[in-house]
Amino acid sequence: MLDNWHNIAKKLSDQFTVYTIDVRNHGGSPHSEEMSYPLICDDLNEFCETHFLSSASFVGHSMGGKAVMKLADIYPGLIDKLCVVDIAPKKYKPGHLELFKAMFDLPIGQLSSRSEAERLFSQQVKEPGVRLFLLKNIHRRSRGGFEWKLNLQSIFNNYDHIIDEIQLDWPFSNDTLFINGDKSNYVKEEDQTRILELFPNAEFVKIPNAGHWVHAENPTDFLTQLTDFLS
Protein backbone atom coordinates (compact mmCIF):
# COMPACT_ATOMS: atom_id res chain seq x y z
CA MET A 1 0.00 0.00 0.00
CA LEU A 2 1.40 3.40 -0.97
CA ASP A 3 0.86 4.77 2.56
CA ASN A 4 3.76 2.57 3.69
CA TRP A 5 6.11 4.54 1.43
CA HIS A 6 4.94 8.04 2.36
CA ASN A 7 7.97 9.16 4.39
CA ILE A 8 10.53 7.68 2.00
CA ALA A 9 8.73 9.11 -1.04
CA LYS A 10 8.53 12.56 0.52
CA LYS A 11 12.29 12.66 1.11
CA LEU A 12 13.09 11.21 -2.33
CA SER A 13 10.95 13.94 -3.90
CA ASP A 14 13.64 16.49 -2.99
CA GLN A 15 15.70 15.04 -5.85
CA PHE A 16 13.30 12.98 -7.98
CA THR A 17 9.78 12.97 -9.36
CA VAL A 18 8.11 10.22 -7.32
CA TYR A 19 4.95 8.19 -7.90
CA THR A 20 3.66 5.83 -5.22
CA ILE A 21 1.17 3.20 -6.33
CA ASP A 22 -1.41 0.97 -4.68
CA VAL A 23 -1.32 -2.34 -6.53
CA ARG A 24 -4.66 -3.89 -7.42
CA ASN A 25 -6.65 -5.10 -4.41
CA HIS A 26 -4.74 -2.76 -2.09
CA GLY A 27 -5.38 0.74 -0.76
CA GLY A 28 -7.37 2.90 -3.14
CA SER A 29 -6.85 0.77 -6.25
CA PRO A 30 -9.69 -1.26 -7.80
CA HIS A 31 -10.60 -4.66 -6.44
CA SER A 32 -10.47 -7.67 -8.73
CA GLU A 33 -10.94 -11.41 -8.41
CA GLU A 34 -7.87 -11.79 -10.63
CA MET A 35 -4.46 -11.07 -9.14
CA SER A 36 -1.16 -12.14 -10.66
CA TYR A 37 2.23 -10.59 -11.31
CA PRO A 38 1.65 -10.34 -15.08
CA LEU A 39 -1.60 -8.48 -14.38
CA ILE A 40 0.14 -6.14 -11.92
CA CYS A 41 2.78 -5.49 -14.60
CA ASP A 42 0.03 -4.63 -17.07
CA ASP A 43 -1.39 -2.23 -14.48
CA LEU A 44 2.03 -0.58 -14.08
CA ASN A 45 2.46 -0.27 -17.83
CA GLU A 46 -0.97 1.34 -18.11
CA PHE A 47 -0.08 3.73 -15.28
CA CYS A 48 3.10 4.77 -17.09
CA GLU A 49 1.21 5.31 -20.36
CA THR A 50 -1.43 7.40 -18.57
CA HIS A 51 1.26 9.60 -17.00
CA PHE A 52 3.40 9.80 -20.17
CA LEU A 53 6.33 7.98 -18.56
CA SER A 54 8.49 6.31 -21.17
CA SER A 55 10.78 4.89 -18.46
CA ALA A 56 11.39 5.15 -14.75
CA SER A 57 13.27 3.59 -11.88
CA PHE A 58 11.15 1.13 -9.93
CA VAL A 59 11.35 0.24 -6.24
CA GLY A 60 9.32 -2.64 -4.80
CA HIS A 61 9.21 -4.27 -1.38
CA SER A 62 8.23 -7.89 -0.69
CA MET A 63 5.28 -8.68 -3.02
CA GLY A 64 6.02 -5.37 -4.74
CA GLY A 65 9.58 -6.54 -5.21
CA LYS A 66 8.40 -9.66 -7.01
CA ALA A 67 6.11 -7.47 -9.13
CA VAL A 68 8.95 -5.23 -10.33
CA MET A 69 11.15 -8.26 -11.00
CA LYS A 70 8.41 -9.62 -13.27
CA LEU A 71 8.11 -6.14 -14.82
CA ALA A 72 11.74 -6.54 -15.90
CA ASP A 73 10.67 -9.65 -17.81
CA ILE A 74 7.48 -8.36 -19.47
CA TYR A 75 8.23 -4.63 -19.90
CA PRO A 76 12.03 -4.28 -19.63
CA GLY A 77 12.00 -1.08 -21.67
CA LEU A 78 10.05 0.66 -18.92
CA ILE A 79 12.84 0.27 -16.41
CA ASP A 80 15.84 2.52 -15.99
CA LYS A 81 17.08 1.19 -12.65
CA LEU A 82 15.52 -1.48 -10.47
CA CYS A 83 15.52 -1.78 -6.68
CA VAL A 84 14.14 -4.90 -5.00
CA VAL A 85 13.63 -4.72 -1.23
CA ASP A 86 13.93 -7.83 0.94
CA ILE A 87 12.61 -10.48 -1.39
CA ALA A 88 14.12 -13.07 -3.73
CA PRO A 89 12.66 -14.48 -6.97
CA LYS A 90 12.29 -17.92 -5.35
CA LYS A 91 9.11 -19.70 -4.27
CA TYR A 92 8.34 -19.15 -0.59
CA LYS A 93 6.58 -21.45 1.84
CA PRO A 94 3.20 -20.21 3.10
CA GLY A 95 3.98 -17.94 6.04
CA HIS A 96 0.94 -15.72 6.48
CA LEU A 97 -1.91 -18.17 7.08
CA GLU A 98 -2.28 -17.22 10.75
CA LEU A 99 -2.48 -13.55 9.76
CA PHE A 100 -5.13 -14.34 7.16
CA LYS A 101 -7.13 -16.18 9.83
CA ALA A 102 -6.86 -13.25 12.24
CA MET A 103 -8.04 -10.83 9.55
CA PHE A 104 -10.97 -13.04 8.53
CA ASP A 105 -11.93 -13.58 12.20
CA LEU A 106 -12.03 -9.86 12.98
CA PRO A 107 -15.74 -8.81 13.11
CA ILE A 108 -14.87 -5.77 11.07
CA GLY A 109 -18.41 -4.70 10.18
CA GLN A 110 -19.41 -4.58 13.86
CA LEU A 111 -16.39 -2.68 15.20
CA SER A 112 -17.11 0.57 17.01
CA SER A 113 -13.56 1.95 17.10
CA ARG A 114 -9.98 1.36 16.02
CA SER A 115 -9.05 0.68 19.63
CA GLU A 116 -11.57 -2.17 19.66
CA ALA A 117 -9.99 -3.54 16.47
CA GLU A 118 -6.56 -3.33 18.11
CA ARG A 119 -7.81 -5.12 21.25
CA LEU A 120 -9.48 -7.96 19.34
CA PHE A 121 -6.65 -8.30 16.85
CA SER A 122 -4.06 -8.52 19.63
CA GLN A 123 -5.60 -11.82 20.74
CA GLN A 124 -4.24 -13.51 17.61
CA VAL A 125 -1.52 -11.15 16.31
CA LYS A 126 0.96 -10.70 19.14
CA GLU A 127 3.58 -8.51 17.44
CA PRO A 128 2.57 -4.83 17.84
CA GLY A 129 4.27 -3.66 14.65
CA VAL A 130 2.52 -6.28 12.52
CA ARG A 131 -0.84 -5.41 14.13
CA LEU A 132 -0.47 -1.73 13.39
CA PHE A 133 0.70 -2.42 9.84
CA LEU A 134 -2.32 -4.62 9.07
CA LEU A 135 -4.83 -2.36 10.80
CA LYS A 136 -3.76 0.51 8.55
CA ASN A 137 -5.85 -1.37 6.00
CA ILE A 138 -9.20 -0.68 7.68
CA HIS A 139 -11.37 2.39 7.30
CA ARG A 140 -14.72 3.50 8.69
CA ARG A 141 -17.86 3.00 6.61
CA SER A 142 -20.38 5.82 6.24
CA ARG A 143 -23.14 3.45 7.43
CA GLY A 144 -21.18 2.48 10.55
CA GLY A 145 -18.57 -0.08 11.38
CA PHE A 146 -15.38 -0.62 9.42
CA GLU A 147 -14.26 -2.47 6.31
CA TRP A 148 -10.99 -3.58 4.78
CA LYS A 149 -9.44 -1.29 2.18
CA LEU A 150 -7.77 -4.32 0.64
CA ASN A 151 -9.58 -7.14 -1.11
CA LEU A 152 -8.80 -9.73 1.54
CA GLN A 153 -10.62 -12.63 -0.13
CA SER A 154 -8.92 -12.14 -3.49
CA ILE A 155 -5.48 -11.83 -1.95
CA PHE A 156 -6.12 -15.05 -0.01
CA ASN A 157 -7.47 -16.84 -3.10
CA ASN A 158 -4.36 -15.87 -5.10
CA TYR A 159 -1.86 -16.38 -2.29
CA ASP A 160 -0.21 -19.43 -3.88
CA HIS A 161 0.64 -17.34 -6.93
CA ILE A 162 1.87 -14.43 -4.82
CA ILE A 163 4.45 -16.60 -3.06
CA ASP A 164 5.44 -18.49 -6.23
CA GLU A 165 8.75 -18.23 -8.07
CA ILE A 166 9.42 -15.34 -10.45
CA GLN A 167 10.87 -16.46 -13.76
CA LEU A 168 12.39 -14.34 -16.53
CA ASP A 169 12.68 -15.38 -20.16
CA TRP A 170 15.86 -13.30 -20.49
CA PRO A 171 18.29 -11.85 -17.94
CA PHE A 172 17.72 -8.20 -17.07
CA SER A 173 21.04 -6.39 -17.48
CA ASN A 174 20.22 -2.89 -16.20
CA ASP A 175 21.57 -1.71 -12.84
CA THR A 176 19.70 -3.53 -10.07
CA LEU A 177 20.00 -3.17 -6.31
CA PHE A 178 18.78 -5.76 -3.81
CA ILE A 179 18.35 -4.18 -0.37
CA ASN A 180 17.83 -6.56 2.54
CA GLY A 181 17.48 -6.18 6.29
CA ASP A 182 20.31 -7.76 8.23
CA LYS A 183 17.79 -9.32 10.66
CA SER A 184 15.53 -10.66 7.89
CA ASN A 185 15.59 -14.25 6.62
CA TYR A 186 13.68 -13.55 3.40
CA VAL A 187 16.86 -13.41 1.28
CA LYS A 188 19.69 -15.80 2.07
CA GLU A 189 23.27 -15.83 0.84
CA GLU A 190 22.58 -18.86 -1.36
CA ASP A 191 19.81 -16.92 -3.15
CA GLN A 192 22.37 -14.57 -4.67
CA THR A 193 23.48 -17.17 -7.25
CA ARG A 194 19.99 -17.38 -8.76
CA ILE A 195 19.50 -13.62 -8.50
CA LEU A 196 22.71 -12.98 -10.46
CA GLU A 197 21.59 -15.41 -13.17
CA LEU A 198 18.46 -13.29 -13.70
CA PHE A 199 19.98 -9.89 -12.85
CA PRO A 200 23.69 -10.09 -13.79
CA ASN A 201 24.39 -6.46 -12.80
CA ALA A 202 22.80 -6.81 -9.38
CA GLU A 203 24.39 -5.38 -6.25
CA PHE A 204 23.50 -6.42 -2.71
CA VAL A 205 23.23 -4.20 0.36
CA LYS A 206 22.28 -5.15 3.90
CA ILE A 207 20.70 -2.51 6.11
CA PRO A 208 21.70 -2.79 9.79
CA ASN A 209 19.14 -3.02 12.57
CA ALA A 210 16.32 -3.88 10.16
CA GLY A 211 14.14 -6.90 9.49
CA HIS A 212 11.75 -7.46 6.61
CA TRP A 213 10.19 -3.97 6.86
CA VAL A 214 13.54 -2.40 6.01
CA HIS A 215 12.33 1.03 4.93
CA ALA A 216 10.23 1.41 8.10
CA GLU A 217 12.70 -0.04 10.59
CA ASN A 218 15.83 1.84 9.46
CA PRO A 219 14.64 4.56 7.06
CA THR A 220 17.83 6.64 7.37
CA ASP A 221 20.25 3.99 6.13
CA PHE A 222 17.71 2.69 3.63
CA LEU A 223 17.23 6.14 2.12
CA THR A 224 20.98 6.72 1.91
CA GLN A 225 21.54 3.50 -0.03
CA LEU A 226 18.55 4.03 -2.31
CA THR A 227 19.41 7.65 -3.08
CA ASP A 228 23.03 6.77 -3.88
CA PHE A 229 21.85 4.03 -6.22
CA LEU A 230 19.26 6.13 -8.04
CA SER A 231 21.68 9.03 -8.41
Domain ranges within the chain, ordered by starting residue: 2-92+164-230, 97-156
- Can 55 be counted among the known catalytic residues? no
Q: pLDDT tens digits for 74-117? A: 999 999 999 999 999 999 999 899 999 999 999 999 999 999 99
CB 60 within 8 A of CB 67: yes
Q: Which residues contact 167 (CB under 8 A, 6 or more apart)?
A: 73, 89
Catalytic residue among 31, 62, 96, 154: 62
| pLDDT higher than threshold 90 for residue 133 | no
So what's the pLDDT on residue 170? 96
| pLDDT higher than threshold 90 for residue 12 | yes
- Can 212 be counted among the known catalytic residues? yes
Residue 84: count other Cβ atoms within 10 Å of its Cβ: 29
Q: pLDDT tens digits for 105-132? A: 999 999 999 999 999 999 999 988 888 8
pTM, 2 dp: 0.94
In the CATH hierarchy, which top-level class contains the domain 2-92+164-230?
A: alpha beta
